[in-house]
Structure formats: C-alpha cells, structure tokens
C-alpha cells in the first residue's frame, strides 16, 4: 500500500509541476481551429458514454446496493419498480449532465480568447495537485 501511495503522490506532484511550468501554446487559427473543435457525431458520443457507464463497476455496485432498498420484498411487480427507479435515475442524470455541459461550454466560450486566464488556471490547478501529492505522501495510513 505504501508503495502505491508514494507512486500516486509522486505522479500528482509531477503533473502539478508540469502544469505550473508549462508554456502556453498559441491558439490555432482559422480552418485548423475549426477542425480541432469539430463535433463528433451524436451516436458516437452516446455510445462512448454508454459503454463507459456499462463497463464501470462502480455503476453496477451502485445499482445493486442502493436500489433494492426502495423495492418492497413482497411487491408483485419488482421488475417494474426497478425499471421506474432506473428511469428516474436516467432522467435526473441527463438533466444534471446537460446543466454541467451548458455551464462548462459557457465558461469555456467566455474565457477561450484570454490566455492569461488559462495560465492562471493551470498554475492554480498545478499548485493544488502538488499540495495534494505532498499531503498524500505525508499521510500515515
């Protein structure tokens, strides 16, 4: 455990230092920028998200451990109850993800032409990574 912890701490510190010392690349212009930000087809994005969630063991553990609490053991329609709970989960997750995407897109659009903001953000996040790496290395368990 100690070896894995120290390797993880070293990696966090390495990433943080790289972010702090990184030179800012110039933004691509014209057609090159359009190609770099070209949207992927919606089907490809959907399938990527679908397979990421289906193959994620945390999602399976969540559904297996959390949902049965809300279905009565003597219910005649257990499958329908699980389907209803799953549907509510999908709708809530979709709404939340859309809100996060909208906010992230708005923030990105607002600050995309300001290299000073990106430099400040990289240095701040890099410092946080270094701090977390040092804290992880110093923990006793």
Residue 4 has a pLDDT of 92
Is the separation of the CB atoms in 3 and 109 below 8 Å? no
Band of pLDDT at residue 10, cut at 50, 70 and 90: very high
The mean pLDDT of the chain is 85
pLDDT digits (tens, 9 = 90+) for 29-41: 545 555 555 677 8
Q: At what angle do helices 115-138 and 2-21 cross, to 10 degrees?
A: 160
Strand, coil or helix: 121: helix
Residue 34 has a pLDDT of 52
- What the block records as the tokens of 81 is 């109850």
Please state, in angstroms and rounded to a whole number, the distance separating the CA atoms of residues 109 and 57. Answer: 34
Q: Is the model's pLDDT at 137 over the cut of 90? A: yes
Residue 27 has a pLDDT of 55
pLDDT digits (tens, 9 = 90+) for 68-121: 888 888 888 988 988 898 899 889 988 998 999 999 989 888 887 787 888 888
Please state, in angstroms and rounded to a whole number, the distance separating the CA atoms of residues 36 and 99. Answer: 24
Q: What is the pTM of this model?
A: 0.56
Residue 132 has a pLDDT of 95
Residue 17 has a pLDDT of 95
Residue 29 has a pLDDT of 54
Nearest to 56 by CA among 7, 123, 64: 64
Q: Is the model's pLDDT at 124 over the cut of 90? A: yes
Is the separation of the CB atoms in 13 and 138 below 8 Å? no
Q: What angle do CA 68, 94, 73 make, to 5 degrees?
A: 10
């Amino acid at each position: 455990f100690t070896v894995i912890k120290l390797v993880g701490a070293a990696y966090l510190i390495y990433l943080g230092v790289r972010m702090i010392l990184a030179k800012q690349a110039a933004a691509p212009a014209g057609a090159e920028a359009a190609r770099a930000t070209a949207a992927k087809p919606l089907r490809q994005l959907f399938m990527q998200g679908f397979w990421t969630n289906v193959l994620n063991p945390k999602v399976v553990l969540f559904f297996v451990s959390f949902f049965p609490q809300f279905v009565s053991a003597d219910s005649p329609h257990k499958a329908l109850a699980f389907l209803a709970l799953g549907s509510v989960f999908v709708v809530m997750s979709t709404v939340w993800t859309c809100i996060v995407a909208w906010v992230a897109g708005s923030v990105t659009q607002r600050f995309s032409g300001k290299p000073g903001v990106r430099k400040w953000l990289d240095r701040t996040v890099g410092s946080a990574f270094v701090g977390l790496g040092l804290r992880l290395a110093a923990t006793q368990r």
